Amino acid sequence: EPEVTQTPSHQVTQMGQEVILRCVPISNHLYFYWYRQILGQKVEFLVSFYNNEISEKSEIFDDQFSVERPDGSNFTLKIRSTKLEDSAMYFCASSELALGITDTQYFGPGTRLTVL
């Protein structure tokens, strides 16, 4: 069964450094999402992306964050200058159709980001 993959599984970085989290969505999916989950807390929506544009973003997704689909398969989340509070599990998800039409978005296994 097709699945969303994410790399790396764990990223450790120093405060102020840039990180890029990578995701490979399911191949025929057109809608892509990033979420984060701080340890012990709820999953938080960051951004949705369709047709090479951000569809919607949350208040968390400030100028330090950016997303890109650099080629036909990868979907990346960049954090320009990491802060301690960016430490979290970051989940990528994808769906074939818009979420209001499809029944399912598929989540990757997550990247655990630790900012020291």
**116 Cβ partners below 8 Å, 6+ apart?**
12, 13, 14, 15
Parallel/antiparallel/unpaired status of strands 53-57 and 43-50: antiparallel
Nearer to other proteins, 42 or 62 (CB): 42
Minimum gap (Å) between residue 104 Cβ and other proteins? 5
Q: Does 24 bind other proteins (CB under 8 A)?
A: no
Indicate which single residue of 21, 23, 48, 115 sits in contact with other proteins (rule: CB under 8 A): 48
Indicate which single residue of 75, 86, 105, 113 sits in contact with other proteins (rule: CB under 8 A): 105
Please answer whether residues 20 and 70 qualify as being in contact, where contact means their C-beta atoms are separated by less than 8 angstroms: no
Indicate which single residue of 34, 77, 110, 115 sits in contact with other proteins (rule: CB under 8 A): 110
Please tell me the count of residues contacting other proteins according to CB under 8 A.
27
* Tokens describing residue 116: 């020291």
DSSP one-letter code for 39: T
Q: Does 44 bind other proteins (CB under 8 A)?
A: yes
φ/ψ of 33, rounded to 5, equals: -145, 150
Q: Does 32 bind other proteins (CB under 8 A)?
A: no
